[in-house]
Amino acid sequence: MKRRTWVLGLALVLFSAGTALGASTSVSWSSWIQLELQPLALGAFDSALTVGYSIGSCTASATALIDDGGVWNLFADVGGALGGFAVRSIADFDATVPALRAWLSSVSTAIAGVRLYGLLMVDDVYAGQDTDPWYGIGGTFGVIWEGSGLSIWGQAQFNMTDSLRYVYLYGLDWLMDHFVFDACGSWYKPSTYVDIQTGGCALHWSGLTVYVEFPICCADLLAAVRLSCAGGLEYVLVEMLNVDLGLAWINVEWVDLWYTVESKSANAVFGVSFADSLCITPYLALTGGGTFIDGIDLKALLFTCTWNGYTFTAGHLFDEDGWQEYLNGTYYDYGWTWGGELTYLAPCKVPTGYDEFFGVEVEGDVCCGGDYGLSAFAWFDTGESAGIFDWVETRVLLRAAVAPHVDLRLGVSATVSGSDWVGFGVDLYW
């Protein structure tokens, strides 16, 4: 409790200092406590306190993460514009040691229509292990040029993993946002989207990736090549994107040829649309291997319907072992989230065997200009549970604004195994 009091006092000091300096300040506090009922015991306690500042085009924030043992993590995020450069720096600290966990900085600019960006990272490659820190340093330099229908992305890594795929798909800001981030109440610290390969201070060249994209006929053509210090030529990819078949109800999202030194494979992903808003969504995946495709499997089925302010959902997972998005893609162990969506992020997934669910959600306005949300989901394990209709768990969650800048959260879970719990949460922001 002393450490939590210390953190709250520090937040008050930082908030007061920022106000005195004329900065635009903000504070948010989110806390959740969960009590196990059989027997009565503390199941979980998690809190996050964030203090933010904004002066002109520059912003800064500091976040403390707290559990029943006290402050276990701190991270800071600073960014803004300096002249013609956009800069951002994120530092993550293990507060229990204490020690620096990882630090990542980015800088980007545009010169004569060419976008340039760089990353510099310091990382404890032994993080999470019971040993002294061992830091590694890495860097990345990237170039993006787009014009006259032709686009080129190039990125060289020095003791860092290849992150160009994420920059190409989502942008540099997305990559920085997912260095330290919260997903379903669990923190990725840091995530694996960027990483140091080895410890030490040697900024040796580790890889080069180039993407070239341009329109051709009825599609966009993407060509990519990846070279690495360790393996030389890793792959060559030739891909046709958004192929127009002239049919309103079907399109080819991509067709690709993937070559490595020892193998090759061909893949295709189709998009099918029978209506502007589907009530039933099938999740399909190609089966086979290499250049051989032997069928299409139905992996999951999701039903969604909104009526009179209520949203009804139901889903069934046919393949608990997961599947690839397409044959060359990374293997994903898919599962449902507690909100009835498919995900491969482990903290977001329901327990193994929770194959089927029925849920209802409703939202509306309450006092103080706020709103409320209520959800109830019943989960079933097809063929394995001792509950009626294979029922395994029901969760009910309520979130409601009770005052300006104050939200309360209540939750309850009932299970066939008797591991029931109730939870209480509060969100403050000003």
Q: For residue range 354-367, what is the model confidence (pLDDT) as tens digits?
A: 889 999 999 888 77
Average pLDDT over residues 321-347: 73
pLDDT band at residue 306 under the 50/70/90 scheme: confident
High-pLDDT (> 70) share of the chain, %: 79
Q: What residues make up the domain containing 38?
A: 1-76
pLDDT attached to residue 253: 66
Query: In whole angstroms, what is the distance from residue 137 CA to residue 156 CA?
Result: 15
Does 381 fall in a domain? Answer: yes
pLDDT attached to residue 377: 96
3-class DSSP state for residue 56? coil
Does 263 fall in a domain? Answer: no
Computed over its alpha carbons, how large is the radius of gyration of the chain?
A: 25
pLDDT surpassing 50 at residue 1: no
Average pLDDT over residues 406-412: 93
Q: Which residues contact 130 (CB under 8 A, 6 or more apart)?
A: none
Residue 256, both tokens: 């690709």
Does 270 fall in a domain? Answer: no
Does 380 fall in a domain? Answer: yes
Range of lowest pLDDT (113-117, 245-249, 363-367, 388-392): 245-249
**Of 76, 99, 122, which one is at a domain's C-terminal end?**
76
pLDDT band at residue 83 under the 50/70/90 scheme: confident
Extended beta strands in 229-279, E state: 232-243, 250-259, 264-272
Query: In whole angstroms, what is the distance from residue 111 CA to residue 87 CA?
Result: 16
Q: Which residue has the higher pLDDT, 148 or 427?
A: 427
- Cα-based angle 380, 277, 267 (whole degrees, multiple of 5): 80
Query: In whole angstroms, what is the distance from residue 251 CA to residue 248 CA?
Result: 8
pLDDT surpassing 80 at residue 324: no
Q: Which residue has the higher pLDDT, 43 or 329?
A: 43
Average pLDDT over residues 256-264: 69
pLDDT attached to residue 123: 93
pLDDT surpassing 70 at residue 287: no
Average pLDDT over residues 29-49: 90
Q: Which residues of 182-204 are buried (b: 16+ CB within 10 A; e: fewer)?
A: eeeeebebbbebbbbbebeeeee
Average pLDDT over residues 232-255: 74
Question: How many helices (H) and strands (E) in the chain?
Answer: 3, 28
User: What's the number of domains the chain is made of?
Assistant: 2
Does 311 fall in a domain? Answer: yes
Q: Could you tell me how far CA 409 lies from the centroid of its own chain?
A: 23
pTM: 0.79
What sign does the CA torsion over 378, 382, 384, 389 have?
A: positive
Does 225 fall in a domain? Answer: no
Does 260 fall in a domain? Answer: no
Residue 311, both tokens: 């949203």
Does 412 fall in a domain? Answer: yes
Average pLDDT over residues 400-420: 89
The pLDDT tens digits of the residues spanning 138-159 come to 999 999 999 888 999 999 999 9
**Of 76, 105, 128, which one is at a domain's C-terminal end?**
76
3-class DSSP state for residue 159? coil
**Of 28, 51, 76, which one is at a domain's C-terminal end?**
76
Which of 3-7, 94-98, 401-405, 425-429 has the largest mean confidence?
A: 425-429
Query: In whole angstroms, what is the distance from residue 114 CA to residue 257 CA?
Result: 29
